[in-house]
Amino acid sequence: MTPALDVVRRRVRLDPRDPGFFNDPYRAYAAIHEASPVFFWEDYGFWCFARHADVSALLRDRRFGRQITHLMSRAELGWPEPKPHLQPFDALERHSILELEPPEHTRLRNLVNRAFVSRRIEKLGPRIAALAHERIDRFAHEGSADLVAEFAAPIPVAVIADLLGVPRQMGRELVDWSHRMVAMYQFGANREVEERAARAARAFADFVRGFARARRGDLGDDLISQLLIAESDGGRLSEDELVATVILLLNAGHEATVQAIGNGVKTMLEGGVDPRLAFAGESATAATVEELLRLDPPLHLFQRHALEEAEFAGVRLRKGDRIGLLLGAANRDPARFPHPDAFDGGRSPNPHVSFGAGIHFCVGAPLARLELSVALPILFARLPGLRLAEAPRYRDTFHFHGLEALRVEWR
């Protein structure tokens, strides 16, 4: 879908729920890059930035933050009062590092970082490989499969459950709660979505609270135990913070990775990328993974608030104004990436912003990279001649850019 662009006034009309757009946002991004990479997106009602330089700078610019209600009241912002039926959901968001600003963000992020050290992550490689083989064993003889359901979805949730120390058998329930909560971030979430999210948030929080309490007397090497014993500046995590952090890690830990695996396989198959070259050794694999993440990232739009009156790229913003950072568009900026739409396994440097930047840079990036670089080569090695069985379609959630299904066949 081509956006309706008013170049002079830098305004764009583009319905994020239009299948033509969410199935291929890159055509619209190309038009936007050419005509007006700084624009007011009328459907959202805020200024958006598509240039790589702008998105990278804004992610690091401390005049902008995720949170604003610590500086302005809802009345000053012109926001309605919090909806009572959303209380369980809002209660988790209140302590989520993704939604916090320093100094709370710094304290919680340090605790999570400490629990998320690279040696703990690296140790997961063999487990990810075993999981990938296990999944493929189930369908290899069939000659066709939906790789989202059969391969991409089950691996990340099992990995994050292991890492946190939550029983893998909880996987189905965790995914279900997580889907309902994440649906809140879609464009135009309605009352039904809100109520489902609130119920899921309550059930999820009750589970984690009970689980963590039981764990307190029986600490192990898992991340929940580490969070329980972690201390920063002499202060432990409060129980509410611990619950919100574990839920954020469980949700963030699989939602985006599932989509990154599905999108990555699709990009390779559509682009005719030769897996023998793409995965010929560690550095080729790492470069392939970065390029797949650049070309079709799972998260496309993040918002920030102006924490003070600010001017950026010729746009004057008042304190409290929202802005949109288009990660997926920044990754295809022709000013930063030569031949931005082409897969280039040797692209170097590859400063994509799929994991964000600045203080909220993805905590899970090393884990996501490891999952992709272990699971994808195994998939292509085990299923030679892998090809698309039908044109893949994306889900109707522009922000969470991922496939409904990925039907493939092999010899």
C-alpha torsion 204→207→209→215, nearest 10: -140
Supply the minimum distance, in Å, between the C-beta of residue 250 and ligand HEM. Answer: 8
Is residue 171 at the binding interface for ligand HEM, with CB under 6 A as the rule? no
**Near ligand HEM by CB under 6 A: residue from 257, 263, 267, 331:** 257
Q: What does the alpha-carbon distance between residue 239 and residue 206 come to, in Å, rounded to a whole number?
A: 12
Gap between the Cα atoms of 316 and 321, Å rounded: 10
Contact with ligand HEM (CB under 6 A) among 152, 260, 301, 317: 260
- Per-residue contact flags (x/-) with ligand HEM for residues 105 to 124, judged by CB under 6 A: ----x---------------
For ligand HEM, the closer of residues 224 and 367 by Cβ is 367
**Rounded CA separation 61/150 (Å):** 41
Q: How far is the CB of 125 from ligand HEM (least distance, A)?
A: 14
Query: Minimum CB separation from ligand HEM for residue 228, in Å?
Result: 17
Put the strands of the sheet holding 64-65 in their side by side order.
Answer: 4-6, 11-13, 38-41, 46-49, 322-326, 301-306, 64-65
Q: Output the CA–CA distances (angstroms, integers) from residue 361 to 109, 116, 192, in the order listed.
A: 10, 14, 32
The DSSP letter of residue 222 is S
Residue among 128, 249, 315, 376 that touches ligand HEM (CB under 6 A):
249
Least distance (Å) from ligand HEM to the CB of residue 140? 25
CA dihedral 117, 122, 124, 125 (to 10 degrees): 160
| Amino acid letter for position 38 | V
Residue nearest to ligand HEM as judged by C-beta position: 364
> 213: how many CB neighbours lie within 10 A of its CB?
11
Question: 249 with 112: CB under 8 angstroms?
Answer: yes
Told to check if 166 binds ligand HEM by CB under 6 A, we report: no
Listed residue (303, 301, 302, 306) closest to 321, CA to CA: 306
Residue 201 in the binding site for ligand HEM (CB under 6 A): no
Q: Scan residues 342-401 and list those touching ligand HEM (CB under 6 A).
A: 354-356, 360, 362-364, 367-368
Distance (Å, rounded) from C-alpha 178 to C-alpha 183? Answer: 8
Q: Given the complex with ligand HEM, which of 6 and 104 has the nearer CB atom?
A: 104
- The only residue of 302, 312, 343, 398 in contact with ligand HEM, by rule CB under 6 A: 302
Distance CA 214, CA 305 (A): 39
Provide, rounded to whole angstroms, the least separation between the CB of residue 75 and ligand HEM.
Answer: 26
**Taking the complex as a whole, how short is the minimal distance between the CB of residue 334 and ligand HEM, in angstroms?**
22
Smallest gap from residue 313 Cβ to ligand HEM (A): 18
> Considering the complex, what minimum distance in angstroms separates the CB of residue 226 from ligand HEM?
13
Instruction: Kindly state the smallest distance separating residue 68's Cβ from ligand HEM, in Å.
Output: 14
Binder to ligand HEM among 32, 224, 248, 379 (CB under 6 A)? 248
Query: CB of 124: closest distance to ligand HEM in angstroms?
Result: 11
* Contact between residue 21 and residue 28 where contact means Cβ atoms under 8 Å apart: yes
Determine the size of the site formed for ligand HEM (CB under 6 A). Answer: 26
Closer to ligand HEM by Cβ: residue 109 or 135: 109
Would you state the torsion angle of the CA atoms of residues 362, 363, 365, 368, taken in this order, to the nearest 10 degrees? -120
Q: Which of 183, 252, 386, 403 binds ligand HEM (CB under 6 A)?
A: 252
Smaller CB separation from ligand HEM, 324 or 356: 356
For residue 134, the SS3 value is helix
Angle between helices 191-216 and 239-271 (to 10 degrees): 120
Amino acid at 347: R
Rounded-to-integer distance, Cα 206 and Cα 217, Å: 18
The least CB distance from residue 151 to ligand HEM, in Å, is: 15
What is the secondary structure of 300-357 as a DSSP string?
Answer: -EEEEEESS-EEETTEEE-TT-EEEEEHHHHTT-TTTSSSTTS--TT-SS----TT--
The label of the residue with tokens 């500046």 reads 233
- Residue with smaller CB distance to ligand HEM, 160 or 175: 160
Binding mask 265-294 for ligand HEM (x = CB under 6 A): ------------------------------
User: Is 264 among the residues that bind ligand HEM (CB under 6 A)?
Assistant: no
Residues that bind ligand HEM (CB under 6 A): 59, 66, 97-98, 109, 160, 248-249, 252-253, 256-257, 260, 297-299, 302, 354-356, 360, 362-364, 367-368
